[in-house]
Structure 1
Amino acid sequence: MYTLAVCAEMVFRDLPIEERARRLHDAGFQVEIWDWTRHDLAALERTGAVFSSMTGYIRGSLTDEDDAAELLRTAEESVKAAALLGCPRLNLHGTGLDGRGLPVDPVAGEATGPMWIAAHRTLGRVAELGESAGVVFTLENLNTAVDHPGVPFAKAADTLALVAAVNRPGLKMNLDLYHAQIGEGNLIELVRRAHGLGLIGEIQVADVPGRCEPGTGEIAYPAVARALADLGYDGTVAMEAWASGDDDLALDRFRTAFTV
């Protein structure tokens, strides 16, 4: 069966990040964080939590050579930070995001052919870095309609195509079903396709609308959980969602939705 994780950035927000990690660990969840540069990694390590994912770069973009060089340079720094926490996965986006989740280097319209070529080349180098360090970089799909307008390679179809084209063990897909529901829908078939290709590095979940815990919106997550179990998916399912009210209740709803 799959393992459950929770993004510490989005729950227990009145507490320091290390206390959030400790609470999640005590509740039986693995822990995800975002930008590691904002946290005391030594304090997080002392919590005893198992860290499943963190942001895999600080700056940069996949769309051109100059930005790609910065992405690769900061990815190397992220690999070293991940080693301190024993974190096996490092997450990527098409371009850096600011504090509001907006792209630092937005793209107007669809990514161009040269952007696709640059992204493919850069992701190959990222995958090589991951393989040499013993970690996996994951490319996340995002939605551009609500949360991240202007992010290149945002749709699940785009991220899946890039990961498949690179076709290296150091790069997988972070399949975010919240973003996919807004951008494309047809979630169970999307999961089946990505799993069948062996390209899922992680699955993230939140409900629509609102980006709160499963059970607060329109997505039938128990049906998704049954599909994952039927497929034999044994990776990580992570709740990257705001608590709609009580944080502990949100964790219980997440666990219930994915208990098959």
Structure 2
Amino acid sequence: MPRFAANLSMMYTEHDFLDRFAAASADGFQAVEYLFPYDHDATELRRRLEEHGLTQVLFNAPPGSWESGERGTAALPGREAETHSGIDRALEYAAALGCPRVHVMAGLVRPEATAEERAKHRDTYLANLAWAAERAAAAGIDILIEPINGRDMPGYFLRRQAEAHAVVQEVGAANLKVQLDLYHCQIVEGDLTATLRRDLPTGRVGHLQIAGVPDRHEPDHGELNVRHLFGVVDDLGFDGWIGCEYRPRAGTSEGLGWLDDYRR
């Protein structure tokens, strides 16, 4: 049966961030994920996890200047030193929190970039991911990359599942994996059942995420048949986590009927 992790960056925003751990636990979640931990001391975050019996399953490496619109630096030539420093910082937090996965964001590329420029971005990306994977392997941590749709994040370097899997295969590190967000995948390419059946058995998918399409609310609102998709995931024997990375329409706990129904 799929296991679900509450995304504390999007869910439970009616509470202060540090109080979201308790709220998620009270609703029966056993795991959490979120975008970034760096505004909080790792010791305090670890205390919240332990106090509420929660497992930290994922967070992102530093993305550059998020407030200025940056969305990662791993594919940006000239930013290698910053990328490496950010990955080291993420791995320190991961070790402190017992978190086995870190998502490394690629960054934004100008839409008018030439083929030569895009090739340079890709070379930079591959080199940074190889460095990150080697660094993380010593700590037993997986590095994840995620295709993200261009509607929510215009210009993001990595958009399609096949591109992500090609990167993973080319780097060739056992602990470099794909973060398959079914929300982004449906918007960009659809065919989710075939994608799951094709990609989960490869062992290259390290984490799943879900949200309703098109509005990124609860996963049972919109065009996805989540019961069917969860059944496919179950049939394929995926033993990882499914992150609930959605924005509740009106109160997080009030919108968990989909999860209560599935658990029953």
Global fold match (TM > 0.5): yes
Which residue does 1:114 correspond to in 2? Answer: 120
Which one of the candidate residues 132, 135, 144 is aligned to 1:129?
135
- The 8 Å contact of residues 58 and 75 in structure 1, kept in 2 or not, is answered as no
Which one of the candidate residues 219, 232, 235 is aligned to 2:237?
232
Rounded Cα–Cα distance in structure 2 between residues aligned with 1:3 and 1:166: 29
**Per-residue deviation, residues 126-155 of structure 1 (Å, max 9, x unmatched):** 1111101211111011000x2100110122
Cα distance, 1:226 vs structure 2: 0.8
Which residue does 1:70 correspond to in 2? Answer: 82
Cα distance, 1:109 vs structure 2: 5.2
Change (3 A) 1:108 1:27: same
Rounded Cα–Cα distance in structure 2 between residues aligned with 1:212 and 1:39: 27
**Per-residue deviation, residues 133-178 of structure 1 (Å, max 9, x unmatched):** 211111011000x210011012222222212222212211110110
Cα distance, 1:250 vs structure 2: 2.4
- Give me the TM-score of the superposition, normalised by structure 2: 0.87
Rounded Cα–Cα distance in structure 2 between residues aligned with 1:252 and 1:46: 29
- Give me the TM-score of the superposition, normalised by structure 1: 0.89
- The 8 Å contact of residues 4 and 243 in structure 2, kept in 1 or not, is answered as yes
Cα distance, 1:255 vs structure 2: 5.0
Cα distance, 1:206 vs structure 2: 0.3
Which residue does 2:43 correspond to in 1? Answer: 42
Rounded Cα–Cα distance in structure 1 between residues aligned with 2:232 and 2:169: 22
Question: What SS class does the counterpart of residue 53 from structure 1 fall into?
Answer: strand
- The 8 Å contact of residues 54 and 89 in structure 1, kept in 2 or not, is answered as yes
What code does the residue aligned with 2:173 have?
Answer: R
Cα distance, 1:119 vs structure 2: 1.5
Which residue does 1:161 correspond to in 2? Answer: 166
Rounded Cα–Cα distance in structure 2 between residues aligned with 1:109 and 1:252: 44
Question: What SS class does the counterpart of residue 211 from structure 1 fall into?
Answer: coil
- The 8 Å contact of residues 127 and 170 in structure 1, kept in 2 or not, is answered as yes
1:176 is the counterpart of 2:190: no
Gaps of 5+ in 1: 96-104
- The 8 Å contact of residues 143 and 177 in structure 2, kept in 1 or not, is answered as yes
Change (3 A) 1:62 1:109: farther
**Larger CA deviation: 111-120 vs 226-235:** 111-120
Question: What SS class does the counterpart of residue 237 from structure 1 fall into?
Answer: strand
What code does the residue aligned with 2:37 have?
Answer: W
Cα distance, 1:196 vs structure 2: 2.2
Which residue does 1:100 correspond to in 2? Answer: none
What code does the residue aligned with 1:158 have?
Answer: E
Which residue does 2:19 correspond to in 1? Answer: 19
Q: Aligned residues, how many? A: 249
Rounded Cα–Cα distance in structure 2 between residues aligned with 1:109 and 1:86: 41
- The 8 Å contact of residues 31 and 51 in structure 1, kept in 2 or not, is answered as yes
Identity of aligned residues (%): 28
Which residue does 1:98 correspond to in 2? Answer: none
Question: What SS class does the counterpart of residue 37 from structure 1 fall into?
Answer: coil
Gaps of 5+ in 2: 65-71
Describe how 1:220-259 pairs up with structure 2 within 5 A.
220-257=225-262, 259=263
Rounded Cα–Cα distance in structure 1 between residues aligned with 2:96 and 2:239: 25
Describe how 1:134-153 pairs up with structure 2 within 5 A.
134-144=140-150, 146-153=151-158
